[in-house]
Amino acid sequence: MLREPDQHGWTRQVFSEPYRSSRDLVAAKMRRCGLEVHTDPAGNIVGVLRGSSPGAPALITGSHTDTVTGGGRFDGIVGVMGALELVRQLRENDITLTRDLIVVDFLGEESNDWGLSCLGSRSLAGELTAADLERRDGQGQRLGDRYDTFGLDPSAAISARWLRNTPLHSYVELHVEQGPVLERHETQIGVVTAIAGIERVLAMFLGRPDHAGTRPMDDRRDAMVAAARAVLAVQRIGCGAPLHGVATTTRLANGMASPNVVPGEVQMRAEFRSIDTEWLSLAKQQVVTDIVDEARSEGVDVEFDWTTDNEIVHSAPQIQDLAATSAEQSGLSWKAVPSGATHDAVHLARLCPMGMIFVPSRAGRSHCPDEWTDFADIAAGVQVLSATITALDAADSVSSA
């Protein structure tokens, strides 16, 4: 079972049975490609292709095979399968790299019910904490307990050091663009310049519950109305962003919803993304000011709880150059693009220089069943990944961004 049978589209969330099956399949495919395979303490599936120079700083590539609910077939999967195709081609052509090539199917990249993305790569970078394991999902289940029931040791996940203790040369990830830019520019390859930072907010609107039939309209403290105005404030700020800034309200919940009660308590979740640090910080300040002002006019108080899901991360210029040159040498058009989506590469960038290669997404659709990338475009992406990895294998060292 590689996806939830009762869900629309492709649903393979972290810790689910379809996810377990998909990881078994990935491990089997890695073995068939001749990789040495194991599940690491962070819960990642890791395959190693040995190079000719033991101890030389290793190359890493990979991505993820979990999906959002009702997702598609390409987000993440292209980076894992593309890496395996690269290994297959190297072996078919009797090419031995100097460096070890580590291929990883990272555990749970998508944001989950515990509100945490990139579990496996976060853990390898030393960014998964004991406090994270205490997070609870909507049913009250601890994240740490979910690791346990999936057969993973949560304490090993927060102290997984093997990659931090392995000399690393660089990380390159192939991924679908998930947006419309490449298709609009009729371009085959995206060379990623930076990955957007993500600031998330939980806003709690505290009004006053009252009888919905008797409380006059001019004497209400309606938390839902204040939250609705906040949704528009978030949208307004996103629309005012320079290129690449976005703002989205992702959830509204009435704490004590009753059909006949003026809402007294509403929770809202929203996120802001940009590759511009200054805009992100201004957007945070502006949204708080606007929401508080508008809530006040409804007689509603607001409390905010901000978390940084990830900071802005830049790709290593040298890897960008190598990917662009690889595209040109293969006769492929390319464009420098920022990534609005987050990726395991954000966390790998803590460990070594990082680069990403994008291939076009039809109509820019992603995180939905309509997600599609033409196979010819995926093949072109694998070709660029392969040429970039081969060039990095020969490069002495690469500086981070």
Q: Can you read off the two tokens belonging to residue 388?
A: 């970039």
Query: Dihedral angle at the C-alpha atoms of 177, 318, 89, 83, nearest 10 degrees?
Result: -40
Residue 64 counted as an annotated binding residue = yes
If the CB atoms of residues 73 and 284 are measured against Mn ion, the closer one turns out to be 73
Q: Can you read off the two tokens belonging to residue 23?
A: 């990881």
Contact 257, 224 (CB under 8 A): no
If the CB atoms of residues 66 and 100 are measured against ligand GLV, the closer one turns out to be 66
Residue range at the interface with Mn ion (CB under 5 A); choices 49-57, 70-78, 98-106, 391-399: 70-78
Contact 90, 49 (CB under 8 A): yes
**Is residue 360 close enough to count as binding Mn ion by CB under 5 A?**
no
Given 342, 361, 383, 388, the residue binding ligand GLV (CB under 6 A): 342
Least separation in angstroms between CB 175 and Mn ion: 6
Residue 92 CA, distance from chain mean position: 32
Site for ligand GLV in 94-113 (CB under 6 A): 110-111
- DSSP string covering 166-235: S-EEEEEEEEE--SSHHHHTT-SEEEEEEE-EEEEEEEEEE---EETTTS-GGG---HHHHHHHHHHHHH
User: Whose structure tokens read 């000399």?
Assistant: 167
Partner in contact with 177, chosen from ligand GLV, Mn ion, none, beta carbon below 5 to 8 Å by kind: none
Given 341, 368, 395, 401, the residue binding ligand GLV (CB under 6 A): 341
Task: Classify residue 373 by burial, with Cβ atoms within 10 Å: 0-12, 13-18, 19+.
Answer: buried
x/- contact string, 110-149, with ligand GLV (CB under 6 A)?
A: xx-----x--------------------------------
If the CB atoms of residues 105 and 265 are measured against ligand GLV, the closer one turns out to be 105
Least separation in angstroms between CB 262 and ligand GLV: 34
Neighbours of 211 (CB within 10 A): 9
Partner in contact with 123, chosen from Mn ion, ligand GLV, none, beta carbon below 5 to 8 Å by kind: none
The C-alpha atoms of residue 243 and residue 245 are separated, in whole angstroms, by 6
Known binding-site positions for allantoate: 200, 260, 273
Write out the residues near Mn ion by the rule CB under 5 A.
75-76
Write out the residues near ligand GLV by the rule CB under 6 A.
110-111, 117, 341-342
Known binding-site positions: 64, 75, 110, 175, 200, 260, 273, 367
